[in-house]
Chain A
Amino acid sequence: MADGSSHDLKTTPLHSLHVELGAKMVPFAGYDMPVQYPLGVLGEHNHTRAKAGLFDVSHMGQAFLEGPDHETTARALEALVPGDMRGLARGQQRYTVLLTDDGGIIDDLMVARSASADDDGRLFLVVNASRKDVDYAHIASCLPQGVTLAPATERALLALQGPAAVEVMARHCPQAADLTFMSATSAEFVVGGQSIDCHVSRSGYTGEDGVEISVPAAHAQTMARALLAHDEVEPIGLGARDSLRLEAGLCLYGNDIDETTSPVEASIAWVIPKHRRVAGDFPGAERILRELADGPSRKRVGILPDGKAPARGHTEIQVAGAAVGEITSGGFGPTTDGPVAMGYVALAHAKVGTSLDLIVRGKPRTAHVARLPFAPHRYAK
């Protein structure tokens, strides 16, 4: 068993709390992070789907993109992503991708426009931990004069996810209950007479309703302890975070998407609105528009193994003895109570219901292409 060395690893502002709560800590994206707490991965997964789970996602990158006005800042970002950034309303959040000139995905990220007219021209970005240095260098090198990128290194990020998440959050922060899915606002989190400034969005990466809360690092423990004090809330580690997002059919950067995969191949072409397809004014447009018109050569699909054996990432996928693709994320789905996976297959084999063989430990095991997500999304409408 791997013996994770913890030196040279960065820590989040909640590190001592994780240790206090009895978390098993592992190295992840350069950070010493909780993989599970005493409840265990299954228990944590099921608790999140039933009530509410608190995740420390402070290792992810938070940054402000700032310019003189929304139009200028949004236009600067639109040069790097295929999404509609100029059309973001105040307080609206959007999922998008940074693209290479070849249409590959540098990272996937969340972008929120400030809810306040006073901050117009400011976009709040949340990027993957493993990619933040790459992202920041890339973004900074492409910005026009007057637009700057300011990483918010002194902030923590918490995610509270599950059907009880928003109700619990609203006990401290009533504005959370008023947010619709993918909207965000600055807010006050009240605990024991103290009021903590934070930024709350109704979003997350589990398929459940919930919020993500950006908070100054100095107040992160106070907030986390306040949320954990409620019976509905359990701390959740990286293990359950992974099984929750896999069941939700969401891409994990480095597994399911990377600089070789395009949004069309990744089955997230919905991140490209019609007016940007018409304009073709984003990096890699030539490849992406061609794939939209003619179909990509491979496509990310959901895969359900027929038996009970999980098929993990890098498992070869065959049809009639010939390799047609590879699993990129796979494991056991506690909510579906069986193995679930996703991966890339040649387009000819991407239709739902198509029979596949997964080569697990040298032996072919039958599976079929399945609709995503495996666990229905329960985002707030």
Chain B
Amino acid sequence: MADIKYTKDHEWVRVEGDTATVGITDYAQEQLGDVVYVELPDIGKTVGQGDEAAVVESVKAASEVYAPVSGEVIEINDGLADAPAGVNDDAMGSGWFVKLRLSNTSELEKLMSEDEYKTYLAELD
């Protein structure tokens, strides 16, 4: 299983080689409610850790998705343009937002493991 890390803002990142796939967690999609629009960055854009990487809009509000790690955008999930509800259906899988070419693997150490994220969520409730 690939290594998945989590941010306090409820993004996840799965690292395979130097590719980091980024999405929002199941908890986040549930909090947002029905997703109706996803704004994705241009391919080739460089983002720093914590920079805005995408915007996800639910019926009620727009929320920023921050890059868990720095890198260059090498792929975006075009399917979300036509079917934004894919984020609700499979936030941790096919509802991913962007793939980044990881530029600094040490940044991953600042993120939470799955167990740490679960503990963090339990504290939020």
Query: Cβ of A361 and Cβ of B59 under 8 Å apart?
Result: no
A41-B58, A361-B62 are known contacts; what are 7 more A-B pairs with Cβ within 8 Å? A1-B31, A41-B60, A42-B34, A308-B81, A309-B39, A310-B37, A339-B37
Query: Cβ of A42 and Cβ of B59 under 8 Å apart?
Result: yes
A39 to chain B, nearest CB (A): 10
Name the contact of B37 in the complex, choosing from A43, A239, A309 (C-beta under 8 A).
A309
List residues of B (52-99) whose CB comes within 8 Å of A's CBs. Answer: 55, 57-63, 81
Find chain A residues with CB under 8 A from B62 CB.
310, 312, 361
Interface residues of B (CB under 8 A from A): 31, 33-34, 36-37, 39, 55, 57-63, 81
In this complex, the member of B31, B33, B60, B81 whose beta carbon has the largest number of chain A beta carbons within 10 angstroms is B60
Query: Cβ of A332 and Cβ of B36 under 8 Å apart?
Result: yes
Distance of A239 Cα from B33 Cα, bound (Å):
10
10 A-B residue pairs with Cβ-Cβ distance under 8 Å, sorted by A, are A35-B60, A36-B33, A42-B59, A239-B33, A242-B60, A309-B57, A310-B37, A331-B59, A332-B37, A361-B55
Find chain B residues with CB under 8 A from A40 CB.
33-34
Distance of A339 Cα from B62 Cα, bound (Å):
13
Distance of A41 Cα from B85 Cα, bound (Å):
13
Q: Which A residue's beta carbon lies closest to that of B60?
A: A239
Q: Which A residue's beta carbon lies closest to that of B61?
A: A312
Distance of A312 Cα from B37 Cα, bound (Å):
13
Q: Which B residue's beta carbon lies closest to that of A36?
A: B33
B65 to chain A, nearest CB (A): 13
List residues of A (314-343) whose CB comes within 8 Å of B's CBs. Answer: 331-332, 334, 339
Find chain A residues with CB under 8 A from B81 CB.
308
Query: Cβ of A41 and Cβ of B59 under 8 Å apart?
Result: yes
A/B pair count, beta carbons within 8 Å: 44
1/0 per residue, CB under 8 A from B, across A39-52: the answer is: 01111010000000
Chief secondary structure at chain A's binding surface: mixed
Find chain B residues with CB under 8 A from A239 CB.
33, 59-60
Distance of A42 Cα from B33 Cα, bound (Å):
9
Q: A308-B81, A361-B39 are in contact. Are A331 and B34 (CB under 8 A)?
A: no
Q: Which A residue's beta carbon lies closest to that of B57?
A: A310
Query: Cβ of A332 and Cβ of B39 under 8 Å apart?
Result: no
A12 close to chain B: CB less than 8 A? no
Distance of A323 Cα from B52 Cα, bound (Å):
26
Distance of A243 Cα from B59 Cα, bound (Å):
8
A304 to chain B, nearest CB (A): 15
Find chain A residues with CB under 8 A from B39 CB.
309, 361
B17 to chain A, nearest CB (A): 32
B57 to chain A, nearest CB (A): 5
Question: What 3 pairs between A and B have smallest CB-CB spacing?
Answer: A332-B36, A42-B34, A41-B59
Distance of A242 Cα from B39 Cα, bound (Å):
23
Find chain A residues with CB under 8 A from B60 CB.
35, 41, 239, 242, 331
1/0 per residue, CB under 8 A from B, across A284-312: the answer is: 00000000000000000000000011101
